């Protein structure tokens, strides 16, 4: 992978190709991860993202995660890329007034306060919609803007639990575990928030009116749990923890290899299982054999997984991969992040972006997803310094003079 250069400050935007959201302005008053990730995705595809942070304090994400020599954390540098930072205290009259001025000429506002917080400050949807009827407002909270739980605080771990994912993570005879990362709901909510904003922009082209997008952290998690809901409604089936296994299909799990590693194998049909059986040298168990139909494999799940595991354990992971690929059996290595950095597929797809930053030197971060063939997104700079763009936004965009800025600073609004 070739290192790419980036300015350490976003004050001078690098030259770039046309991006889909060029000309769209986003005001991000959210904090931590779900809301910021939403606006980051918009910024990667060309939107101008102005991130408002508390004066002197900044976003909590600046202090969450591994701290760097730059005085901010790795999540901040990675997840708040392509943003302009201003300081703004929305609790102060001057800060609230400045937000209204920003909103007047903005397309999208992203927030993830507890419901009612912006309303308490006189900055609710009704107020901002009146300021700018074309405004689109993305509202991410623990449980959404409505319902009996709307006032409850929420974080990603709560979203995983309440959404039904944590219950499924782990082994049946042990407590539920964290399903990979406690922040999955934050990223998923941010993803759906960006999708909602784009849908609302499309609707605005027809109606001329903005609207708000309402997402509870748990909702994207519940949405992606395949047949969990219809299966329960139809038969009362409550899926339990299955370790690395998967309901309805087998073998479909993680299996050990001779070199102490693990490989993922996914047989989602009888035809694929037949190919695996041939790869294993036991074609007689597939087709008209004892495990040829999924129902038979389901009945003897433990035995099927045992046989497959004993087969994979005879070979190195690379040998199993080669054998499975030869017979077109879906498989893949169970990677640690160190192996990801050395994998040629990641390199060929440039999934890891190397950024140069004057504050910390080179930093590797996940690259933009999805990739567009004609108008791709990009990363222009890492998470900015606190208030780095105050002058650009307050003077250049809003036209405030020195005396006005001094008054706002004295009030603590900026």
Q: Is the dihedral of CA 78, 80, 84, 90 positive or negative?
A: negative
Contact 79, 355 (CB under 8 A): no
Dihedral pair phi/psi, residue 50, rounded to 5° = -105, 110
- d(CA 111, CA 145) in angstroms, rounded, equals 12
Coil vs helix vs strand at 111: strand
Contact 38, 110 (CB under 8 A): yes
Q: Which of 28, 186, 357, 380 is catalytic?
A: 186
- d(CA 90, CA 118) in angstroms, rounded, equals 8
Q: How many CA atoms lie within 13 A of 331 on its CB side?
A: 29
- d(CA 205, CA 26) in angstroms, rounded, equals 17
Residue 352 is inside which H or E element, if any?
strand 352-357
Q: Is the dihedral of CA 371, 375, 377, 380 positive or negative?
A: positive
Q: What angle do CA 165, 189, 74 make, to 5 degrees?
A: 95
- d(CA 48, CA 106) in angstroms, rounded, equals 10
- Percent composition of the chain: helix, strand, coil (DSSP 3-state, to 5): 40, 15, 45
Q: How big is the chain by its Cα radius of gyration, in Å?
A: 25
270 noted as active-site residue: no
The pairing of beta strand 212-216 with beta strand 136-141: parallel
- d(CA 115, CA 153) in angstroms, rounded, equals 9
Q: Is the dihedral of CA 146, 148, 154, 157 positive or negative?
A: negative
The pairing of beta strand 262-266 with beta strand 331-333: antiparallel
Q: What is the distance between the terminal CA atoms of the chain, rounded to a whole angstrom?
A: 41
Residues marked active site are found at 186
């Amino acid at each position: 992978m070739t290192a790419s250069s980036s300015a350490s400050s976003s004050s001078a935007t690098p030259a770039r190709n046309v991006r889909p959201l060029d000309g769209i302005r986003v005001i991000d008053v959210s904090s931590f991860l779900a809301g910021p990730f939403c606006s980051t995705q918009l910024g990667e595809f060309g939107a101008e993202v102005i991130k408002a942070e508390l004066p002197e304090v900044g976003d909590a994400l600046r202090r969450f995660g591994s701290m760097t020599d730059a005085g901010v954390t790795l999540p901040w540098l990675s997840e708040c890329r392509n943003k302009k930072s201003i300081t703004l205290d929305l609790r102060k009259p001057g800060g609230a007034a400045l937000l209204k001025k920003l909103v007047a000429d903005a397309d999208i506002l992203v927030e993830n306060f507890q419901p009612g917080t912006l309303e308490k400050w006189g900055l609710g949807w009704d107020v901002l919609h009146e300021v700018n009827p074309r405004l689109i407002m993305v509202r991410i909270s623990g449980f959404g803007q409505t319902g009996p739980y709307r006032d409850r605080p929420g974080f990603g771990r709560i979203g995983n639990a309440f959404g039904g994912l944590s219950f499924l993570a782990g082994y049946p005879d042990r407590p539920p575990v964290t399903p990979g990362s406690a922040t999955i709901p934050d990223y998923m909510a941010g993803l759906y928030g960006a999708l909602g904003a784009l849908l609302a922009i499309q609707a605005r082209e027809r109606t001329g009116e903005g609207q708000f997008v309402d997402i509870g952290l748990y909702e994207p998690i519940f949405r992606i749990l395949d047949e969990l809901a219809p299966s329960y409604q139809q038969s009362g089936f409550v899926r339990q923890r299955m370790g690395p296994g998967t309901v309805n299909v087998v073998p479909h799990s993680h299996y050990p290899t001779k070199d102490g590693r693990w490989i993922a194998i996914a047989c989602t049909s009888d035809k694929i299982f037949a190919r695996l059986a041939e790869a294993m040298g036991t074609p007689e168990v597939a087709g008209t054999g004892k495990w040829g139909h999924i129902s038979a494999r389901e009945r003897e799940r433990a035995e099927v997984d045992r046989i497959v595991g004993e087969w994979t354990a005879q070979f190195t992971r690379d040998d199993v991969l080669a054998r499975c690929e030869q017979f077109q059996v879906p498989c893949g290595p169970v990677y640690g992040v160190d192996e990801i950095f050395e994998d040629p597929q990641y390199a060929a797809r440039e999934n890891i972006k190397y950024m140069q930053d004057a504050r910390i030197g080179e930093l590797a971060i996940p690259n933009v997803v999805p990739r567009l063939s004609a108008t791709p997104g990009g990363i222009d700079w890492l998470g900015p310094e606190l208030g780095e763009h105050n002058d650009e936004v307050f003077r250049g965009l809003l036209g405030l003079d020195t005396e006005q800025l001094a008054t706002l600073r004295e009030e603590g609004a900026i």
